[in-house]
Structure 1
Amino acid sequence: MSSPLRFAAIGLDHRHIYHLVGENIAAGAECVGYCSETSDPRVLEGFRERFPALAEVERDRLFDDRSIDFIVCASIPVDRPAIAVRAMRAGKDVMVDKPGATSLVQVTELERVAAETGRIFSICFSERFVVRACEAASRLVAEGAVGRVVQTTGLGPHRLNRAIRPEWFFRPETFGGILTDIGSHQIDQFLHFTGNLSADIVASTVSNHALPDVPLFEDFGEILLRADDASGFIRVDWYTPDGLPTWGDGRLFLLGTEGTIELRKYVDIDGRPGADHLFLVDQRGTQHIDCSAEPLAYFKRFQDDVRERTDTAMRKGHALTVTRLAIEAQSVARRLGSRA
């Protein structure tokens, strides 16, 4: 049996760092330490509560430690590429939170450094990789349960929780904009479920409908995607009301040539309790599938890829293709007016 991989956490600015560390530990890797630099002390406090046994280590020491196999990162989005580049140049593979970058210049540099170093640059798209219903849908699509997927509709509503958001969250230059940020989840799912390597941005829209005091912020966005044999629609927003018992009613609809799949990822409104609901319609009828016991495969596959230099967790280049498309959608988006 091979010894556990060793990894470290650098960039504790977003709460997604909790599952980047926790799921990698659950998948068998050893976290040897973390850099405590953060823009949000509440994230650091939560990290220490969840992982009290982990050691705080100065950032340069983590980069220079040759025994560390990979770095996980959920820093301020604009800072992620520089951390990833330094890690790859230090001989380490990288797993970052989305978005992986905020500009096309950064994407180009990441592509170049990954090619030069041969290191893995992966993005943990949590709305697919940390959602058991998405794991089940991937399995069903691969088995041909709905034929070929020809259209996806992805809905990604989020709760703003404005009182706990750090200052950088409201500046487009630091988080990239709503389509670069949470829109990237839905682009990832479109490419994954339709089996396409890339797509074209047909149209995109952003707006600030509800927060006139932060006029550069965007609280609504939509994208229309098209590939050679499939199309997709994406809607994301920051309007989830406090009455919903979770942070967002995320849904994904897969239209296949022989059936449909609907995912209610986080809640079934006034329906079945819990999360990870999948509704399958095929030639035999309709059924609800409880996916709460479906295993999460991404983290173990990523670790296998680190060992074997393969790409089973994510097709090579996929992470940066998604990032490039999200940034392109952001850059060409028509901005709607708002009513103050």
Structure 2
Amino acid sequence: MIRLALAGTAHPHVDYVLSELPHQPDVELVGVSEPDPAAAARYAAGLGVPVYASHEELPDVDVIAVCGEYGARADVVVAALHRGAHVLADKPLCTTLADLDRITAAAQAADRTVSVMFEKRGYPVTVAARQLVADGILGDLALVASTGPHKLNYASRPDWFFDRARYGGILGDLAVHDIDLVLALSGASAGTVAGRAGNCSLPDRPGFSDNGAVLLGAGAVTATIEAHWMWPAASAYHGHYRMRLTGTAGTAELDWARGTLDVVTHDRDVWSPALGRPVRPAEEFLTALAEGRRPEVGTAESLAATRIALLAQLSADTGGEPQTW
């Protein structure tokens, strides 16, 4: 039996972990920590496990799932690794490069896995698109263009969300998903990244950016990634997330909101490949742990995408100066 504790319930993505537990008979939730009593009551009530005010009070476990306030996550991750637990984390893993260095050192010393729940990997259109690239249907991948719009839902956001020291930045938060996919699609291990960020709609929140964009060089692939908090409130979607892959032999258009994948190549007009079932955000990691194998998103993948996202945010904070990774 895998003993799991939940550290932090500050973001609704905590449901990724809680909703997975009924599917994992080998995983037992043994405790929850949350310093905010209101957040603890919202997510921990009815779970039938002890609730603690601090992650330091949690019992010894095999896995700690980290879903707390962004700026506080690094301390929780490092402490979990020092206690010998694997870490399953919501994104962003942390909010500064210094914190990422601490996590990297702790993971190496503990020989434990840090896995970020990059849920876009599990969408059926993503799985099918990656197979197209792996099979060479699109030829050599050259360009990736993605958009990640989100509704702000201002009235429901906590104050910490608009505090730069506690939230981090928009590129570290939203762009990291598509950065991870660019790395998975390209297989690149080095490149450059530049970022820009702005605040168009919230002048009363000077430390907050409601929009941003990334220019990422990943080996031979060039990617443009935009993200913002300005998606119209009346939309049926929280955000109309899309990505276009352009290769030497064809193009694929991923529409995550609508669940479609359209492909066109030099020898075939538009068609849509068969799609499988979705992989739930916490499913692959917990299943891999139960089976004694390495998860698809392991420590290397989690740290690499996080580092590039934080370098993009650093670039945005320093006038768009490109950073090498």
SS at match of 1:206: strand
Q: Which residue of 2 aligns with 1:212?
A: 203
Q: 1:195 to 1:297 in 2, by over 3 A?
A: farther
Which of 299, 302, 312 is equivalent to 1:329? Answer: 312
SS at match of 1:64: coil
- CA contact 1:11–1:74 (8 Å) conserved in 2: yes
Letter in structure 1 aligned against 2:143: Q
Q: Which residue of 2 aligns with 1:142?
A: 134
Shift of 1:279: 1.3
1:266 equivalent in alignment to 2:257:
yes
Shift of 1:246: 1.5
Mapping 1:211-230, distance limit 5 Å: 211-230=202-221
Q: 1:295 to 1:214 in 2, by over 3 A?
A: closer
Shift of 1:211: 0.8
Shift of 1:237: 0.5
Letter in structure 1 aligned against 2:257: Y
Count the aligned residue pairs: 317
Looking at structure 2, the residues matched to 60 and 175 of structure 1 have their Cα atoms a distance apart, in angstroms, of 19
- CA contact 1:39–1:166 (8 Å) conserved in 2: no
Q: Which residue of 1 aligns with 2:146?
A: 154
Q: Which one is further off, 294-303 or 82-91?
A: 294-303
Q: 1:61 to 1:243 in 2, by over 3 A?
A: closer
Q: Which residue of 2 aligns with 1:272?
A: none
Which of 36, 59, 65 is equivalent to 1:64? Answer: 59
Which ranges of structure 1 fall in alignment gaps of 5 or more residues? 268-275
Looking at structure 2, the residues matched to 230 and 220 of structure 1 have their Cα atoms a distance apart, in angstroms, of 23
Q: 1:249 to 1:223 in 2, by over 3 A?
A: same
Q: Which residue of 2 aligns with 1:249?
A: 240
Q: Which residue of 1 aligns with 2:159?
A: 167
Shift of 1:78: 1.1
Looking at structure 1, the residues matched to 127 and 296 of structure 2 have their Cα atoms a distance apart, in angstroms, of 12
What is the RMSD of the two structures over their aligned residues, measured on CA atoms?
Answer: 2.5
Q: Which residue of 2 aligns with 1:109?
A: 102
Q: Normalising by structure 1, report the TM-score.
A: 0.85
Q: Normalising by structure 2, report the TM-score.
A: 0.88
Q: What percent identity do the matched residue pairs reach?
A: 29
Looking at structure 1, the residues matched to 137 and 24 of structure 2 have their Cα atoms a distance apart, in angstroms, of 28
- CA contact 2:289–2:295 (8 Å) conserved in 1: no
Q: Which one is further off, 152-161 or 184-193?
A: 184-193
SS at match of 1:110: helix
Letter in structure 2 aligned against 1:93: H
Letter in structure 1 aligned against 2:139: G
Q: Which one is further off, 248-257 or 10-19?
A: 248-257
Looking at structure 1, the residues matched to 295 and 204 of structure 2 have their Cα atoms a distance apart, in angstroms, of 45
Letter in structure 2 aligned against 1:94: V
The answer to which structure, 1 or 2, has the higher relative contact order (CA under 8 A, 6+ apart) is 2
Query: What whole-Å deviation, never above 9, does each CA across 1:108-140 have from its counterpart, x for those lacking one?
Result: 1111010011000111122334x3322332333
Looking at structure 2, the residues matched to 316 and 144 of structure 1 have their Cα atoms a distance apart, in angstroms, of 28
